[in-house]
Amino acid sequence: MIVSLVVFFTIVALSLPSAVVFIPLAILTGNVDPLYWVGCSIVRVGFFVAGIRVRVVGRERVPKDRACIFMANHVSNLDPPALLPNIPGRTSVFLKRSLMKIPILGICFRLGQFVPVERGGSVHGAQESVATARTVLESGVHITTFVEGTRSPDGRLLPFKKGPFYLAMQTGAPCIPVSIYGTEALLAKGSNRIRSGEVHVTFHPPIDPADFAAREELLEAVRSAIASGLPEWMRG
């Protein structure tokens, strides 16, 4: 528990002065990149303090000339901070609409073009989220989504949500399957205790939605790719 407290206070100590400088800068200039990269740097410091090492494979497979949809499995609250700073370029994510109302953080989320979604919401709400995500991709910013929709309670792959695949078929953006493991042992679901250790992040070759006649086929291709980079017991 001591490690968790040290990480928490380290991130708070770095985030407050950074927010004072870089949030107004982003608002005044319209350029959110410095704020985004400072946030990623703070996350890296937090991982260093916690003794967490992130082993990344396949980052060179990500296309350099267009925005992509990164689709990852989800086993721990450590997954986003392990993945996002290692994505080439800036990425947006889907997040609960209620999080946009958090003081300071909500401002950062809006500046970062994060896409709000309603859990169990209406068809109209889902269409609105997809339209927003399309605009983000067209601006050259990646989208990252954890395609199970929630953390797996035991590390095994859950059924995938169909929304991200609808977005991919509609926009034609390349899908980058991402396999993450190791985080489930460092911060288990339902626990606040962070442990030291190693995290593995694998970027698989891009999958072109245009190669598939239906989103179900695209879903299965992405699922197979993600599963191939996980230990056998996690493949579901």
Question: Where are the domains positioned within the chain?
Answer: 53-234
Report yes or no: 35 and 23 within 8 Å, Cβ to Cβ: yes
One-letter amino acid of 65: D
Cα 214 to Cα 209: distance, rounded to the nearest angstrom: 9
Model confidence at 102, in pLDDT bands (50, 70, 90)?
confident
Q: Between these two residues, 218 and 119, which has the higher pLDDT value?
A: 218
Query: What sign does the dihedral 81-87-221-149 (CA atoms) show?
Result: positive
**Residue 232 pLDDT exceeds 70:** yes
Residues 138-169 pLDDT 10s: 999 999 999 998 999 999 999 999 989 999 99
DSSP assignment of 148-178 equals TSS--SSSSPPPPPSHHHHHHHHH-PPEEEE
Asked whether 176 and 68 are in contact (CB, 8 A), the reply is: yes
Residue 197 has pLDDT above 90, yes or no: yes
Q: What are phi and psi of 229, to 5 degrees?
A: -100, 5
Confidence of residue 191 (pLDDT cuts 50, 70, 90): confident
Dist. CA 134–CA 167, nearest whole Å: 7
Taking the CA atoms of 5, 84, 126 and 162 in sequence, report the sign of the dihedral they define.
Answer: negative
* pLDDT band at 120; cut points 50, 70, 90: low
Rounded to an integer, what distance in angstroms lies between the CA atom of residue 132 and that of residue 104?
Answer: 22
Q: Confidence class of residue 85 from pLDDT cuts 50, 70 and 90?
A: very high
Portion of the chain with pLDDT greater than 90, in percent? 75
Average pLDDT rounded to a whole number, residues 89-106: 87
Could you give the dihedral angle defined by the CA atoms of residues 111, 114, 115 and 121, in that order, rounded to the nearest 10 degrees? -100
Check: CB of residue 194 under 8 Å from CB of residue 4. yes
State the pTM of this model: 0.93
Residue 122 confidence (pLDDT): 63
pLDDT at 2 over 90: no
Residue where the block lists tokens 């609960």: 96
175-181 vs 197-203, strand pairing mode: antiparallel
> 3-24 pLDDT, tens per residue?
788 888 899 899 999 989 999 9
Question: Rounded CA gap, 23 and 105, in Å?
Answer: 10
Domain 53-234, CATH homologous superfamily name and number: Glycerol-3-phosphate (1)-acyltransferase (3.40.1130.10)
Q: Over the stretch 29-74, which tens digit does the pLDDT of each residue have?
A: 989 999 999 999 999 999 999 999 999 999 999 999 899 999 999 9
Evaluate whether 202 touches 230 at the Cβ level (below 8 Å).
no
Check whether 105 has a pLDDT greater than 90. Answer: no
CA–CA dist 21, 13 (Å, integer): 14
Q: Where are the beta strands (DSSP E) in 15-166?
A: 52-57, 69-72, 91-96, 115-117, 142-146
Backbone angles phi, psi at 144, to 5 degrees: -120, 135
